[in-house]
Chain A
Amino acid sequence: MADRFSPDSEPTTRTLLRRVLDTADSRTPRRRRSAQAGSPKTLLETRSSTRRRSQTKTTARQHSHGGRSIGRLAHVRASKNLEEQTPRTLLKNILLTAPESSILMPESVVKPEPALQVVQPSRRESSRGSLQLQLPELEPSTTLAPSLPAPGKRKQKLRLSLFQQEVNQGLPLPQDPAGNADASSLTSSLNLTFATPLQPQSVRRPGLARRPPTRRAVDMGLLLQDLHDNSLALAPPGDSVRAAVATLPTDTVLEDTQPFSQPLVGHSPSVYHSRAHSSHIGTEDSERAAGHRTHSIGPELQNHKLQPWPAASSEVSEAERSKGAVEDNEPEGSIQNEDISGRPASPEMASSTPEFLQAKRSRQFLEPAPTQPDVAVLPPEPKEPVPAKLPLRPRTAGPRRRQDPYKAGLSHYAKLFSFYAKMPIEKKALEMVEKCLDKYFQHLCNDLEVFAGHAGRKTVTLEDLELLMRRQGLVTERISLHVLVERHLPLEYRQLLIPCAFGGNSVFPAQ
């Protein structure tokens, strides 16, 4: 690392970078990546600031890992630079590369400055690396902020250019790159963006607001076209929206007319899950398709904020087989928002009622308020089912979960039943077996309670269980509990239940 840095007469940026890269490569593959990414970036930076910014932006979006490695690289470089004479250009290049990995462009640019100073290069770099690691982390930013000295004009220029670029792209960026406050604010603002991308993005991206109106028309049309059977085309979206809103904890939908108002889920992955789930649900029920579609669209819209919106939309297109769905979702969301605002009571109802009722309500809702659906006429058919699926998931999340694990456990024993019977069994018979098991569990718990209460205890022990088995006729004078345990339970459980003597005058399990 440092050793490799044999001082040359005139270390050029390339050679230095190469050295650093070599040293970085030797450490970890990540560094290699970042180093490699960083080297070309640094070269570019020297050439043009704009290029660098673009690269950094891309890299920043991709990884924080790259940033980490780059941070380390910078650390290495800085240390090496300290050992050698470090031309300003070299350091600046390093500094420029550092921020590339993270979106915290302006900060990173600022960070390298302190590194130049001999005072605490390592600490800053480490903090820088940590900053780069995780954008939302506030701590590193705060530590960095004080250490960051006032950047030079050059950095300010860079930041401004970067800022401008980012603003153009629509990414949220801190306003002033200069100063510690800026850095902290930047990080905080950045953290805000990352932590709650939905809110700031919706505010900062007025351009997106334009989209919904056009999509609304398409959305409604799609619903109408797809819903041959149901006249609910209009109702479900409203219902779904309400239901989604009810289920979703955020109240923003009611207040915010923008289609991208953030619903509760701030993460696109969660949205994806909901989408997959809702889509799955939608496929299952054809009757509720209309309701489901609107439902899915609602949560989709709500869940997707500006930033995740493009990603979500892309995914949606994949999942829904068409990009139009995304468009549909947006207009639906806007429509839904309007509906929601119009009917505050509906969400309450929606949340309390199951899907069927919601679908019914959606129908009712559709009839009285068929306003916007008429506008849309072009909606692609496949889109409807897909968006509907998404909203389903959040609604049925609660009750379904409660039923599934219990059913899963019962079906586990039902399978054992089919194994013990050694004969083919009807499906309905297996359901009957599950019912019997349910009753059996109830009896079991009651008996155990009685036995424990008879012994004056509130904890059911092994003695109570043995007594129960004795009363059931499973444990007799001829067959003891241990015999049964040996016969039917695997070795691991037998070791836990039957006390066995071991060396050293010890018994396990202890009695």
Chain B
Amino acid sequence: MPPSTTVSRRRPVKRKAPRGFLKGVFKRQKPHLRLVSRGDLLVHLNCLLFVQRLAEESRTNACEKKCGIISKDHILAAAKVILKKSKG
């Protein structure tokens, strides 16, 4: 019998995925499409990786400009690059 996915002692999931939010976003964008039940988890994974790449790129930009704080411009430049990469 396939065991349930729950752990014996249900502890709260760390770094939960906002499944409802992701599902809602997809529905709003493409109401005529459906998303598989576990698909939003992979979407969450995709978002995490995107944010990670964006943060890395912004950090690089800020360090190159020798700033201690990530500013808007750094993010703008980083976003251009990363969004292009994530075009798929």
Contact = CB atoms under 8 A, between A and B. Distances in A.
A413 B79 CA distance: 15
A502 B70 contact: no
Interface string A11-50: 0000000000000000000000000000000000000000
B83 to A, nearest CB: 6
Contacts of B38: 462, 496-497, 509
B41 A460 contact: no
B5 A492 contact: yes
B72 A428 contact: yes
A508 B3 contact: yes
Contacts of B47: 413, 437, 440
Contact of B51 (A416, A424, A497): A416
Contact of A417 (B30, B44, B51, B76): B51
Interface string A123-138: 0000000000000000
Interface in A412-471: 412-413, 416-418, 420-426, 428-429, 432-433, 436-437, 439-445, 447-449, 452, 458-462, 465-466, 468-469, 471
A460 B21 contact: no
Given A432-B76, A442-B29, A423 B21 contact: no
A445 B29 contact: yes
Interface in B1-58: 1-3, 5-7, 13-18, 21-22, 24-26, 29-30, 32-36, 38-39, 41-52, 54-56, 58
B39 A460 contact: yes
A466 B41 CA distance: 12
Interface string A226-258: 000000000000000000000000000000000
The listed residue with most B CB atoms (<10 A of its CB), out of A406, A472, A509, is A472
A280 B61 CA distance: 41
Contacts of A421: 55-56, 58-59, 70
Given A409-B18, A412-B18, A424-B69, A472 B86 contact: yes
Interface stretch (A54-62, A94-102, A114-122, A483-491): A483-491
Contacts of A440: 47, 50, 83, 86
A433 B54 contact: yes
Given A432-B72, A440-B50, A509-B38, A502 B87 contact: no
B2 A495 contact: no
Given A492-B7, A497-B38, A436 B88 contact: no
Nearest to B25: A441
A462 B5 contact: no
Contacts of B46: 444, 465, 468-469, 472, 474
- 4 cross-chain pairs, A with B, having the tightest CB-CB distances, nearest first: A409-B21, A508-B2, A471-B88, A420-B55
Given A413-B47, A439-B79, A461-B36, 9 more contacts: A440-B47, A445-B25, A460-B26, A473-B85, A484-B49, A488-B49, A490-B14, A496-B41, A502-B3
Interface of B: 1-3, 5-7, 13-18, 21-22, 24-26, 29-30, 32-36, 38-39, 41-52, 54-56, 58-59, 62, 68-72, 74-76, 79, 82-83, 85-88
Interface of A: 405-406, 408-409, 412-413, 416-418, 420-426, 428-429, 432-433, 436-437, 439-445, 447-449, 452, 458-462, 465-466, 468-469, 471-474, 481, 484-485, 488-493, 495-497, 502, 504, 506-510
22 contacts: A409-B21, A413-B51, A416-B51, A420-B56, A422-B59, A424-B68, A426-B70, A429-B58, A433-B75, A436-B83, A445-B26, A445-B30, A458-B33, A460-B39, A468-B46, A473-B85, A481-B42, A489-B17, A492-B5, A493-B13, A502-B3, A509-B2
